[in-house]
């Protein structure tokens, strides 16, 4: 398959034509080889307009949703970014390609190891650990931006504590079937001001702040 041509088509039809025209975002999505981050038996649909299942009940998000979240992040090169939920490593690769100083955390050890190995092999330089992303980064670091790839009822206080004043969190907020992609801006030492972008559906956050059943 001509993955380069499929990738260019994805960027144009799924991202640019839906209103995301930031050239840094478009360049990163053009450069990062998405098919390398999906299971081999699903590579033929790597560039289609929907999420793709991974192991352990996780997914690699729809390309447009990844782009929309990164657009909402208002990212500039050199910013210190915390990614909650490394997953396959695809979003991490895009963030690295955009020049982020990336820290990424994944609770599933199998996914984390696979993503870390692939990111390293492809030359994407980031700090990656296994851990509960709901608790933030294990060390006390203050981030410019935080991006979250799993849904929770509300932004845990630990995220706000590791965000600098004026920083942004982009995260899906809500239950199993009723979620909104939200942007939180830290306006002072304590307050996070929320703005919703659109409805969305993400897998639930695992760990301390995760839901165990739809009824909880």
Structural domains of the chain, with CATH:
3-200 (3.40.50.150)
Q: What is the DSSP letter of 97?
A: H
| Percent of the residues in the chain that have a pLDDT greater than 70, as a whole number | 97
Alpha-helical regions (H) of the chain: 3-10, 23-31, 63-73, 90-97, 109-121, 157-161
- Taking only the tens place, the pLDDT of each residue in 3-43 is 999 999 999 999 999 999 999 999 999 999 999 999 999 99
pLDDT of residue 79: 98
* CB-based contacts of 40, cutoff 8 Å, min separation 6: none
- Residue 44 among the catalytic residues: no
Please tell me which residue in 61, 114, 149, 206 is annotated as part of the active site.
61
8 Å CB contact between 181 and 71: no
Measured between alpha carbons, how far is 136 from 81 in angstroms, rounded to an integer?
12
8 Å CB contact between 147 and 83: yes
Q: Which two tokens stand for residue 138?
A: 């294990």
**Of 11-15, 17-21, 55-59, 143-147, where does mean pLDDT reach its minimum?**
55-59
- Taking only the tens place, the pLDDT of each residue in 149-189 is 999 999 999 999 999 999 999 999 998 778 999 999 999 87
Measured between alpha carbons, how far is 100 from 112 in angstroms, rounded to an integer?
19
Q: What angle do CA 69, 74, 78 make, to 5 degrees?
A: 115
> Can you say whether residue 214 is alpha, beta or left, with left for phi > 0 and alpha for psi between -120 and 50 degrees?
alpha
Q: Give rounded-to-5 percent helix, strand, coil for the chain.
A: 35, 25, 40
pLDDT of residue 212: 56
* Per-residue pLDDT at 211 exceeds 70: no
Angle formed by the axes of helices 63-73 and 23-31, to 10°?
140
* CB-based contacts of 205, cutoff 8 Å, min separation 6: 84, 85, 133, 134, 148, 150, 151, 152, 211
Any idea which residue has 């990164």 for tokens?
A: 70
């Amino acid at each position: 398959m001509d993955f380069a041509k499929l990738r260019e088509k994805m960027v144009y039809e799924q991202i640019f034509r839906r209103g995301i025209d930031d050239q840094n975002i478009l360049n990163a999505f053009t450069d990062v080889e998405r098919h390398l981050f999906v299971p081999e038996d699903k590579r033929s649909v790597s560039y289609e307009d929907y999420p793709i299942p991974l192991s352990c009940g996780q997914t690699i998000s729809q390309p447009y949703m990844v782009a929309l979240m990164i657009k909402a992040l208002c990212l500039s090169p050199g910013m210190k970014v915390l990614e909650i939920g490394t997953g396959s490593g695809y979003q991490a690769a895009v963030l690295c390609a955009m020049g982020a100083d990336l820290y990424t955390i994944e609770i599933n050890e199998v996914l984390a190891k696979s993503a870390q190995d692939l990111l390293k092999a492809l030359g994407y330089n980031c700090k990656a650990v296994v851990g509960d992303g709901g608790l933030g980064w294990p060390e006390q670091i203050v981030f410019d931006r935080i991006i979250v790839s799993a849904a929770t009822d509300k932004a845990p206080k630990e995220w706000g504590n590791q965000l600098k004043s004026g920083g942004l969190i982009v995260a899906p907020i809500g239950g199993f079937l009723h979620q909104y992609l939200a942007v939180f801006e830290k306006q002072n030492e304590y307050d996070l001001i929320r703005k919703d972008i659109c409805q969305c559906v993400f897998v639930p956050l695992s760990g301390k702040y995760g839901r165990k059943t739809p009824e909880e």
